[in-house]
Amino acid sequence: MRAALRAFVGTGTPLTVKMLANASGVPDKTIVCAMAEVGSEHWRPMPFDRLLSIAAVLGAEFTAACLQPARQGAFDLPIAANLDPAALMIEVTTNAQAIVSLAADNDICAADLVKMDPLALAHIDLGVRIKAACWQQAA
């Protein structure tokens, strides 16, 4: 988490500790202490609730950097109210059809894999949007 904070806040970044503190509601000192070298007299662990407040401001890229040691990732959820379930299902079907057409000959070559890469990313994005809509309906 310390490395992720340093990558997003402070020297060489567009965000200062003060700006992050104001946006997240986390005290400056808490942020500075979490960015200090582990084991130094200034280092303090970041309380989880404050880390979540910072993650809400810095977004999925920061959260993914924090989760990388656990071999996990993160993504921003879209606002479910802006989602059209019928349009999502059409996109899912269209995307799946494109993937199936590449695999139809039962021989997935390197050229097919290059074409599948953006389709796989689109499929992940579609899944995230569907999940956001499901969470919204459950709430």
Mean pLDDT of 45-66: 95
**pLDDT for residue 39:** 92
Q: Strands, DSSP E only, in the chain?
A: none
Residue 35 has pLDDT above 70, yes or no: yes
Decide which of 81 and 37 is more confident: 37
- Please report the pLDDT score of residue 73 as a whole number: 83
Percent of the chain with pLDDT over 70: 96
Average model confidence (pLDDT) for the chain? 90
At residue 80, does pLDDT exceed 70? no
Segments making up each domain of the chain, as ranges? 1-70, 85-134
Q: Write the DSSP string, 52-75.
A: HHHHHHH-HHHHHHHHGGGT----
Banded model confidence at residue 40, pLDDT cuts 50, 70, 90: very high
The residue with greater pLDDT, 75 or 43, is 43
Kindly list the distances between the CA atom of residue 58 and the CA atoms of 21, 26, 70, 74, in Å, as whole numbers in the listed order. Answer: 11, 13, 19, 12
Q: What is the distance between the alpha carbons of residues 10 and 17, in angstroms, rounded to a whole number?
A: 6
pLDDT digits (tens, 9 = 90+) for 5-16: 999 998 889 999
Q: Which residue has the higher pLDDT, 82 or 132?
A: 132
Give the model confidence (pLDDT) of 97-124 as tens digits.
999 999 888 888 899 999 988 898 888 8
